[in-house]
């Protein structure tokens, strides 16, 4: 008996729980030469904003130990161009398409959501209130429960499609933000976005990122992501999508055991472009070997005490 | 554009601090063009995490490819300790090649420092087109030159410069290039090297209207155009070095400063 | 001209800026067989509490990518035993001794400070309001500006010796806590303590730490520590001690360039017991090669723009 | 208790999944005693980060030491790929040794699984004292036995058990030990092995009042008693396996469950 990897995020059924994280998989087809993208549970696009954005000054990335910093600054083609040019290549793909959106005001979130959600190839919206790399919106919104509730409420009014709200780890109490997002109408939460970080070149005495601080991702942050998920699982009852340093199927299973319904891999793609498929295969094998017929039987099954 | 398990056949040191790796990677060797690059994963563990981009230095009909690299940091240091037999994971060929076809009779190939890495495959390719080739090669110290005999015997016109040492002009390669450029009106230029040299070249060629292609370097994460990490302004537009480049029109590049 | 590595933390002069982080260097003499501890700028002891503590259930440590989790739970011999047994071996050492203290109430902080600060071998106190591994006190105190101010004020009243307050990164805004600590009377701040993290064994489906979550340390958190330092430098004017993932002299210099007066190395000792001495040597060579005569000329000297 | 740059001389595989490393490390070889361990840094990079603890398997008068390890995870996998000539950074000898001196005539050495690693150095040492030695060795599959000829020829009385295979008793080593224990009243016991075996041993020896030493394992960070990570309750007190142990009085250990 092979395991059924199907999972549900609100009204959306995914064929498996492995998604790509926003900003690390382009507009969904750039890795098509490396593997069959239709094998994924879903893809999450780069964040789309109302107007096109060039992004932050260079340099925008830096490697750190078992991690990387980025300060891309939501560089994207803008909602109109996205709808006109980027959705078409996704038509033939047999996988869920989730569009990540952001704005610099609740109003802008609403506007971009209205534009994007209307398109039938869009299966769900992921609302990014957690980007550390922009001055307005982004992280500032995601650290305040009131604004979080307001932004989510506004986006909620634009669509009946599943609404995922993406949370930042850069807060004292992630559960307060999680609850606010659910109150605003989120069908699911995804966490974590990147952790605020920095690196310095000691020869030039300049920060490695032009914008000084950026977002840390990769294996380094996996323990942080798991702890935030662990806290959030106990605070809300909507499905959660685990993100942060997932590089292997073992990593993905850690998140599922703690309570994630699905996972997103980001930095992984840069290290191993076919890594997401290996995660799907690995989860399958694990379940088959252990006689697990359905992921729900291990989701949130973590027991007490040390390993 | 694929992932390859490249078997390291040989690693040697053509010049102090500079290593050459020869891999068996038939697919990659067959499909690579000069100016393209490969993103190499230097370890199975997650430190260092990201792949390292290297120009394809040469390819051979026996299915081998070469890269030439300077040991500058943690990744290249690890690479320099890799022994023959080991397989490294390489993604490539990535990026867009130099355009070696066209109605020009002379190719001016200008390389500074590690710019010699892509220059050799470029020269290999140009040699097949029968164009005459002038190779302007500048280094810091003249022990960084290699393959000079082979270049000469292949009919490449060599112009060498070094800041320290006795070989060629004592100074920058642009010093010798500048007064000579106008001799070759029916030519096309190809440049690769450190940013200050490229900026200087951009100023120099203002009044010399042949086409000039440049290969740029930026820090990279993905190497395939998804992370938006390697942005550069070219002709008013933001372009990604990895997927829109690394080869651009030298005149259009905005070096920022 | 050799560089003068001397730095000041309030009234305390350190011969160099390299200290050991609390909980990673025992009571100061355990590594004596590996190198001459007197070469250090100073040592910070394991956290001392009023009563002895056995610590949390096992397992208490787990390795993560470029990092480790710990949930030691402030295991220590207690203030009385510390004073009676652990200070004596430190007498002959030519290095500053800083005692890290914690309590489960402002009252307890005051009591342990009173006991410890009185001893003449104690050069400074480091007040730990940021331990993620205890239920009362610790992290909970360090996330609240009011309690932070109160705890520091109470400890301040017990001594004129330099008072360092150790901050947690697990907050939305570290500058609010930093300011509160300074208002309470801190002479210096040290940051960061560990980042809340977690790991799971997918075979047993149990957390790797018996207490589920713990504190992440090591190279993985260095970018986070630098970003928190960067924020704090701009918010307060007392000397700052940078902590988090410092493994090499290059790492230490990053913190100094961002604005740290001194640094502490923690997890480093487990990886390379002589690592702290190598940091001191490395800083010296760097300064000598660059003609830097005094660390203050590079402290906080970070310029704008990308490297 | 020092840091050593141990040069790997040889690595081989005495049994499936089990590796033996032989290092040149004269200081360490000279100063190590049975039951002590060494903390090995498996890479120069920071992943894997922490050192790995291994019992000293054997030492030799030519300045070499051996460790014996099972490939179980990322660290040991990396180690198994390390080639002769490489130097690994080892801290040791750490911890307190077995007490092989004393007024007993017979030593009962009981090893389960990788417990054989410290057992061999213990046996080497006991052989020099002239005591008679009974070695009770249990493994999962009989291809994990090695050096049996040498043990027999050295005069060690062998008692073997395996869960799968044809050598010795088919089952647990405690099965054969239990009925035999009382035959050696003037003896001392030494145990190392997996936790379930140690718990069983603790119950078994209640009625058999000879001294029993046990070597424990716990996850370690520092290995020298500073991090308080490897706590175990022994005789009502919290003790650190690395610095108070790893050898303890078996009767006093609180196995928790
Ligand atoms: C398209 C392209 C082709 C290149 N071809 C060659 C070549 O043929 N030979 C050669 O010696 N070098 C080449 N480089 C530069 C080479 O990628 C770097 O020298 C190498 O990544 C340094 O890695 P490290 O770990 O040793 O250095 P570290 O400084 O430790 O690396 C830290 C991070 O910075 C990045 N980085 C450091 N220097 C550079 C650089 N100059 N350009 C881009 N990223 C950098 C690394 O990739 C890594 O992510 C090329 C770069 C690009 C973008
Ligand atoms: C005092 C002592 C002596 C030991 N002697 C030997 C020996 O002679 N031969 C041998 O094969 N093994 C021995 N072990 C166990 C050995 O340390 C582990 O098998 C090894 O650390 C596993 O590393 P890994 O990276 O392959 O496994 P991983 O599971 O990837 O390691 C992850 C982390 O868990 C720790 N860990 C994993 N298993 C153990 C374990 N059983 N005990 C302690 N820590 C563990 C690792 O050190 C590391 O920090 C000893 C352990 C201790 C404490
Ligand atoms: C280069 C890069 C760009 C990113 N861009 C976005 C983005 O546009 N929108 C967003 O919500 N998250 C963005 N992220 C965050 C990721 O989606 C993800 O939350 C984070 O990287 C943690 O996951 P990882 O450790 O698997 O990469 C970006 C991450 C990286 C590395
Ligand atoms: C095993 C361990 C025990 C620690 N115990 C304490 C402690 O008792 N008190 C304290 O203030 N910090 C404690 N810390 C935190 C360190 O002092 C330091 O703030 C943190 O580890 C980050 O620095 P590092 O990355 O250099 O280790 C402990 C850290 C570790 C790894
Ligand atoms: S490196 Fe990612 S877009 Fe170029
Ligand atoms: S491993 Fe640190 S105290 Fe034992």
In a domain, D47, yes or no: yes
Does residue D235 lie in a domain region? no
A297: contact with C, CB 8 A cutoff = no
Coil, strand or helix at A109: helix
Q: What is the CA radius of gyration of chain B?
A: 18
Q: What is the C-alpha separation between A255 and A246, in angstroms, rounded? A: 9
Q: Are A77 and A92 within 8 A, CB to CB?
A: no
Tens-place pLDDT, residues B178-237: 888 888 888 999 999 999 999 999 999 988 889 999 999 999 999 999 999 999 999 989
B62 C-alpha to center of ligand 6: Å? 55
ipTM: 0.96
Tell me: do B16 and B86 sit in the same domain: yes
Ligand 6 atom with the shortest distance to the CA of D225:
3
Asked if C100 and C44 count as a contact pair (C-beta separation under 8 A), the reply is yes
What are the tens digits of pLDDT across the range D146-180?
999 999 999 999 999 999 888 888 889 998 988 88
**Which residues 104-163 of A have a C-beta within 8 angstroms of C?**
143
Is the Cβ–Cβ distance between D90 and D23 less than 8 Å? yes
Q: Is residue D123 part of a domain?
A: yes
D227 and C CB contact within 8 Å = yes
CB < 8 Å to D46, chain A: 65-66
Work out the minimum CA distance from D238 to partner chain C, whole angstroms.
7
Residue B61: C-alpha distances to residues B28, B31, B95, B146, C240 (Å): 11, 11, 22, 22, 60
Looking at residue D93, its pLDDT comes to 97
Q: Domain A7-297: what homologous superfamily?
A: Aldolase class I (3.20.20.70)
What per-residue confidence (pLDDT) applies to A2? 83
Taking CA–CA distances from C219, the nearest residue in chain A reads A65
Q: Do A202 and C226 touch (CB under 8 A)?
A: no
Q: Which of C5, C8, C26 is nearest to C16 (CA)?
A: C5
- How many Cβ pairs within 8 Å bridge chains A and C? 172
β-strand partners of A36 = none
Sheet holding D212-215, edge to edge: D169-170, D157-164, D132-141, D106-112, D187-192, D212-215, D247-249
Burial code (b: 16+ CB inside 10 Å, e: under 16) for B179-200 equals eebeebeebbbbbbbeeebbeb
Residues of C annotated catalytic, as ranges: 131
Domain count, chain B: 2
Is residue B242 one of the residues assigned to a domain? no
Q: Are residues D192 and D153 in the same domain?
A: yes
pLDDT(B257) > 80:
no
* Residue B47 in domain: yes
| Phi–psi pair at A304, nearest 5 degrees | -75, 175
φ, ψ (nearest 5 deg) of residue A222: -55, -45
C268: three-class secondary structure by DSSP: helix
Cβ atoms of A229 and A274 within 8 Å: the answer is no
Portion 198-227 of C in contact with B at CB < 8 A = 219
| Residue B166: band (very low, low, confident or very high) from pLDDT cuts 50, 70, 90 | confident
Cβ–Cβ under 8 Å, residues B122 and B188: no
Instruction: Write the CATH number for D20.
Output: 2.40.30.10
Residue B250 lies in a domain: no
- Nearest CA distance, B222 vs chain C (angstrom): 20
Tokens matching residue A107: 């109003």
D256 is a domain residue:
no
CATH number at residue B211: 3.40.50.80
Which mean pLDDT values do the consecutive 10-residue runs of chain C (307 residues) have?
89 96 94 94 96 94 98 94 94 96 94 95 95 68 93 96 97 96 97 97 96 96 98 97 98 98 98 97 96 94 78
**Residue ending a domain, choose from D94, D125, D153:** D94
For A220, the closest chain D residue by CA position comes to D47
Q: From B89, which residue of chain A is nearest by alpha-carbon distance?
A: A272
Question: Hey, are the CB atoms on B218 and A33 less than 8 Å from each other?
Answer: no
For the question of residue A287 being annotated catalytic, the response is no
Chains touching B (at least 3 CB pairs under 8 A) are A, C, D
Query: Looking at B44, B70, B94, which one is the last position of a domain?
Result: B94
* Nearest-ligand number for the alpha carbon of A252: 3
Given this model, what pLDDT does residue B179 score?
Answer: 85
Q: Residue D137: in which H helix or E strand, if any?
A: strand D132-141
For residue A107, the tally of other CB atoms under 10 A from its CB is: 12
Separation between Cα atoms, residue B50 and residue B91, nearest integer Å: 12
For residues D10 and D68, membership in a common domain is answered with yes
Say if residue B204 is in the same domain as residue B111. Answer: yes
Rounded CA gap, D69 and D80, in Å? 9
Q: What mean pLDDT comes out for the span A103-126?
A: 95
pLDDT digits (tens, 9 = 90+) for A215-242: 999 999 999 999 999 999 999 999 999 9
D44 at A interface, C-beta within 8 A: no
D257 Cβ under 8 Å from any chain C Cβ: no
For residue A31, give the nearest of A284, A291, A265 by alpha carbon: A265
CA B24 from chain center: how many Å?
A: 20
Of D64, D94, D124, at which residue does a domain stop? Answer: D94
Range of the domain at B174: 106-217
Cα-to-centroid distance, A23 and ligand 3 (Å): 5
pLDDT, residue D189, reads 95
């Amino acid at each position: 008996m092979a395991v059924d990897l199907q999972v549900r995020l609100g009204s959306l059924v995914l064929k498996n729980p492995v998604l790509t994280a926003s900003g690390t998989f382009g507009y969904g087809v750039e890795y098509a030469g490396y593997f069959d993208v239709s094998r994924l549970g879903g893809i999450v696009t780069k964040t789309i904003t109302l107007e096109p954005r060039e992004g932050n000054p260079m340099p925008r990335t830096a490697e750190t130990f078992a991690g990387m910093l980025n300060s891309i600054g939501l560089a994207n083609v803008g909602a109109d161009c996205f709808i006109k040019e980027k959705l078409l290549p996704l038509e033939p793909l047999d996988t869920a398409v989730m569009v990540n959106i952001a704005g610099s005001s609740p109003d802008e979130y609403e506007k971009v959501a209205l534009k994007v959600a209307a398109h039938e190839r869009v299966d769900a919206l992921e609302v990014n209130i957690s980007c550390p790399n922009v001055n307005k919106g982004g992280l500032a919104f995601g650290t305040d429960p009131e604004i979080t509730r307001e932004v989510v409420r506004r986006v909620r009014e634009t669509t009946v499609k599943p609404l995922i709200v993406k949370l930042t780890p850069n807060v004292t109490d992630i559960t307060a933000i999680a609850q606010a997002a659910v109150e605003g109408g989120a069908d699911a939460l995804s966490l974590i976005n990147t952790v605020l970080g920095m690196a310095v070149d000691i020869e030039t005495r300049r920060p490695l990122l032009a914008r000084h601080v950026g977002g840390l991702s990769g294996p380094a942050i996996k323990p942080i992501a798991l702890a935030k998920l662990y806290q959030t699982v106990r605070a809300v009852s909507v499905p959660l999508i685990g993100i942060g340093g997932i590089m292997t199927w073992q990593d993905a299973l850690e998140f599922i055991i703690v309570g994630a319904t699905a996972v997103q891999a980001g930095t992984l793609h840069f290290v191993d472009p076919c890594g997401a498929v290996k995660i799907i295969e690995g989860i399958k094998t694990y379940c088959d070997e252990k006689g697990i017929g359905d992921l729900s039987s291990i989701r949130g099954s973590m027991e007490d005490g040390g390993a | 554009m694929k992932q390859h398990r490249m078997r390291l056949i040989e690693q040697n040191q053509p010049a102090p601090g500079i290593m050459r790796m020869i891999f068996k990677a038939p697919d990659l060797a067959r499909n690579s063009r000069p100016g393209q690059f490969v993103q190499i994963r230097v370890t199975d563990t997650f430190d260092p995490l990201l792949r390292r981009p290297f120009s394809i230095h040469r390819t051979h009909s026996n299915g081998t490819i070469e890269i030439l690299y300077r040991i500058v940091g943690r990744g290249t240091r690890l690479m320099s300790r890799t022994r023959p037999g080991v397989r490294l994971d390489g993604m490539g060929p990535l990026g867009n090649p130099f355009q070696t076809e066209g109605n020009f009779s002379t190719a001016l190939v200008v390389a500074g420092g590690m710019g010699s890495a892509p220059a050799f495959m470029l020269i290999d390719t140009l040699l097949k087109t029968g164009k005459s080739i002038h190779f302007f090669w500048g280094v810091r110290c003249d022990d960084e030159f290699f393959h000079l005999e082979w270049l000469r015997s292949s009919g490449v016109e060599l112009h060498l410069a070094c800041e320290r040492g006795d070989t060629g002009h004592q100074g920058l390669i642009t010093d010798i290039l500048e007064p000579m450029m106008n001799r070759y009106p029916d030519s096309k230029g190809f440049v690769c090297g450190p940013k200050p040299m490229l900026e200087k070249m951009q100023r120099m060629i203002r009044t010399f209207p042949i086409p000039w292609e440049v290969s740029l370097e930026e820090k990279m994460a993905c190497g395939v155009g998804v992370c938006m990490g390697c942005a550069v302004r070219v002709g008013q537009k933001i372009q990604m070095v990895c997927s829109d480049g690394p080869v651009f029109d030298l005149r259009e590049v905005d070096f920022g400063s």
